[in-house]
Amino acid sequence: MDLYIYYRVPVGKSEQLEQQAVALQARLSQQHHVATELKRRPQDKDGLHTWMEVYLDTPDGFETIVEEAINSSGLPALIDGPRHTEYFLDFSPCA
């Protein structure tokens, strides 16, 4: 399954968030052999950017690993409001 985590960050903290999130994802990717992506909406709303961390084809229990890594990374101090977590499966329609 693919794990998607999204949250809002004040525009003024976006550069710092990007640097820390990229480092976090690189570490998780190397340690757990998971492909990652970091995305941001192009526009801000009310002075906040929406960011999304993507982890592809994650192993069982990976959400806990990410939670622990995020909490020890300092990212929560940059985030405004709750973090939202969702899982998606690849879908292949029948031929």
| pTM (predicted TM-score) | 0.90
Q: Which regions in the chain score pLDDT beneath 50? A: none
Nearest to 24 by CA among 9, 49, 5: 5
Amino acid at 6: Y
The per-residue pLDDT for 22 is: 97
Alpha carbon distance 6, 68 (integer Å): 16
In CATH, what number does 2-88 get? 3.30.70.100
The per-residue pLDDT for 92 is: 76
